[in-house]
Amino acid sequence: MNSLPYKCAAFLVVALMIKTLWLPSSSNFSGMRLNPKSDNEKSKFLEVPQIVWGLNNQKIAFARACLTARLLNRTLLMPSLSASLFYKEVIQLRPISFDKVFQFEEFNARCQGFVRLGRYSEVSDTGDVFELQKGNGRRWTIEKDLEQLREFGKAPYDEYQVIRVVGKNPFLWHDHWPTKDYAKIFECLVLVEEISLEADKVVSKIKEIGMEERSRVSRLQVNVNATLQSTPYVAVHMRIEKDWMIHCKKLEQRLNVSEICSSKEQIMRRVGSIVGLETPIVVYLAVADNLLEDNSILEGWGEGLLPYEKKKLGVLDVYKKHPYLIQSAIDYEVCLRSDVFVGNTFSTFSSLVVLERTQLMMSVGVAQRCGLDVRWPSYAYNLEGESNGPRPWAANMSDVSLQAISYGSNRVSCW
Ligand SMILES: *[C@@H]1O[C@H](CO)[C@@H](O)[C@H](O)[C@H]1NC(C)=O
Ligand SMILES: *[C@@H]1O[C@H](CO)[C@@H](O)[C@H](O)[C@H]1NC(C)=O
Ligand SMILES: *[C@@H]1O[C@H](CO)[C@@H](O)[C@H](O)[C@H]1NC(C)=O
Ligand SMILES: *[C@@H]1O[C@H](CO)[C@@H](O)[C@H](O)[C@H]1NC(C)=O
Ligand SMILES: *[C@@H]1O[C@H](CO)[C@@H](O)[C@H](O)[C@H]1NC(C)=O
């Protein structure tokens, strides 16, 4: 008992016990972590069906699932997104795990205290499930939907470890949350590095071309400071493909408004009339793939505007190795990072880009949100602004729902 090795061992045991007792459980001392199981035994989960449709509809549906989980005081089990566009054949939906597109840990870090994503491995009793059938159809009103959700936050449903939503996909759920709650979720969505590096490649290519052009001009004229980082570009989300044109004409009829569809010529004219745009400048055209064969979209832009799409930029191979969802995410990122963004207020893609850009402005405390003098200005080409240009556009962060963004509107929160 008095041997030196024994004393050493005893000392170590005592030291370890003291550490266990006294170190706060949040400490990074790895051996002392609380067993995650004991945390999760208290956790309750919400499971939702695979999320479908376009990238931005998927983002909205995902946010809606998160906010539903928040309402039920539950952790959202990481859902599957869909890599391909939604067609009638369910087989073609190609599920892709959320964490193949967005960073899982980063999401939880940024959204901590608001919503949490969990993994299926955290569920300790996979049999302890209650299936929640959401209603649908015209008689399933927004009030009924909310009432049902509230009901499921209470006894006896709150006892189940998992509530599994079955039936229609979450994008079709009713909207019960203000824009700022959605914005909070979008802020937590960060692309995985593999995808953001692809966006870097595209943006670098755009900037290289812009810089060359500006250097060439600066030799002739005065003072254009050409550095790659500071070389600006415009991104235009140009919706003129046939499907869209049919859809927007119908929408114009149904809503009895004339400012939804914009022709190629109108878009070019309005972008060319943005007051104060410093030329020469690259105009990146985010267009549907079938328009890449249509060279006329590259002709007719005003002087100093250098139109490029993925093909002319020489980055088609960067996109083509990815499924639809990722390609769309890369284009979204290129539009988001642009110095000037021009889109259509009836497009979910455009609207979410503008929402995120408005958030960026708010995060750096910009009071004014509209016009070229601000950082990250956006414009709507389907609405006429001053001097025949597009109308300045910012998201209304105090909107009571996401309705305007998910279904389109011509309210732009700028005068
Ligand atoms: C744990 O480590 C991470 C990164 O290593 C750090 O950001 C965090 O603040 C640490 N937490 C504590 C409680 O020390
Ligand atoms: C939410 O759930 C946690 C544990 O999962 C519990 O401690 C907390 O009281 C719940 N809050 C509400 C408002 O039900
Ligand atoms: C060009 O850039 C340099 C260094 O970044 C700066 O000092 C200079 O003022 C700039 N010139 C103009 C005309 O913006
Ligand atoms: C459509 O709007 C115009 C003016 O904006 C109005 O004169 C017309 O009555 C409206 N038509 C319908 C069917 O509401
Ligand atoms: C933003 O939305 C709120 C609520 O719908 C509305 O009262 C307000 O007038 C809107 N602000 C702008 C600038 O459109």
Q: How far apart are CA 355 and CA 266, in angstroms?
A: 24
* Nearest ligand, CA 257: 4
Atom number in ligand 1 closest to CA 27 = 13
In ligand 5, the atom with minimum distance to the C-alpha of 414 is: 13
Q: Is 72 within the bounds of a domain?
A: yes
**Domain total of the chain:** 3
Residue 27 confidence (pLDDT) above 80: no
CATH number at residue 75: 3.40.50.11340
Report yes or no on 60 lying in a domain: yes
Looking at the chain, the whole-number percentage of residues with pLDDT higher than 90 is 53
Ligand 3, residues 215, 222, 225: which to mutate, most atoms within 8 A of Cβ? 225
pTM for this model (two decimals) = 0.82
pLDDT by residue (tens digit) across 297-306?
999 999 999 9
pLDDT class of 290 with cuts at 50, 70, 90: confident
Nearest ligand (C-alpha, residue 118): 2
**CB neighbours of residue 143 within 10 Å:** 10
R_g (Cα) of the chain, nearest Å: 26
List, in sequence order, every residue forming a beta bridge with 162; answer none if it has no partner. Answer: 45, 129
Residue 287: which domain range?
193-407
Q: Is 258 in the pocket of ligand 1 (CB under 6 A)?
A: no
The protein residue with its alpha carbon nearest to ligand 5, atom 6, reads 399
Here the tokens at position 35 are 């067993």
pLDDT value at residue 14: 63
Q: Say whether both 177 and 265 belong to one domain.
A: no
For 254, phi then psi, to 5°, come to -65, -45
Alpha carbons 31 and 14: distance in angstroms, whole number: 15
Residues 168 and 315 in one domain: no
- Nearest residue (by CA) to ligand 3, atom 12, is 225
The answer to whether position 144 is within a domain reads: yes
Answer yes or no: is 256 within a domain.
yes
Are residues 133 and 204 located together in one domain of the fold?
no
Spatial contact of 393 and 379, defined as CB atoms under 8 Å apart: yes
Confidence class for position 39, pLDDT limits 50, 70, 90:
very low
Residue-wise burial string across 244-273, b where 16 or more C-beta atoms lie within 10 A, e elsewhere: beeebeebeeeeeeebbbbeeebbbbbbbb
**In-domain check, residue 415:** no
Comparing CA positions, the residue from 135, 132, 142, 120 lying closest to residue 166 is: 132
Q: Are residues 184 and 197 in the same domain?
A: no
Q: Partners of 236 in the beta sheet?
A: 285, 342
Same domain, 114 and 90: yes
Residue 396 sits in the same domain as residue 253: yes
CA of 230, closest atom in ligand 3:
5
In a domain, 26, yes or no: yes
- Separation of CA 382 and ligand 4 centre (Å): 19
pLDDT digits (tens, 9 = 90+) for 361-384: 888 877 777 877 788 899 999 999
